[in-house]
Amino acid sequence: EKTVEELRQELQEAHRAQAAAAEKYEARIEELERANSPKREDGSSMASSYEVVDLEPSAGQHSDTPLQEPTTEASRMAEEDKAALRAELAERTEKVEELQNSVEQLQQRV
């Protein structure tokens, strides 16, 4: 069984990892939102912007064929990616909170 000090250290590491992940995911969500705007400052369409920021290019979900409705398809894909990022971030946050509760419960017993 882990000691209180080991759990505290693990909790600190989990908080640091959570903060880094949250920053990364929020930056990615902002990037997707910028790519999803109707027109960017340079005049390029969001579909071409989305091509550059594909979340998981190795997943094989993205084909080389031109999209029938690039704006609608790019928008849908960006929204799905944002939802997936937010869900993953929420899951990570929940795990950190569970660890926090475990540490607090153990401290109360000691």
pTM beyond 0.75: the answer is: no
Other C-beta atoms lying within 10 Å of the C-beta of residue 52 = 9
The answer to whether the beta carbons of residues 89 and 22 sit under 8 Å apart is yes
Which of 55-88 are b and which e, b meaning 16 or more Cβ less than 10 Å from the residue's Cβ? beeeeeeeeeeeeeeeeeebbebbeebbeebeee
Condensed to tens digits (0 to 9), the pLDDT of residues 39-63 reads 545 555 444 444 444 444 454 444 5
Q: Is pLDDT at 29 greater than 70 in this prediction?
A: yes
The answer to whether the beta carbons of residues 35 and 50 sit under 8 Å apart is yes
Q: Domain residues of the chain, as ranges?
A: 4-55+68-109
How high is the pLDDT of residue 41?
Answer: 55
**pLDDT class of 8 with cuts at 50, 70, 90:** confident
Q: What angle do CA 15, 21, 26 make, to 5 degrees?
A: 125
As a whole number of angstroms, the distance between CA 101 and CA 6 comes to: 15
Tokens of 81: 């990616």
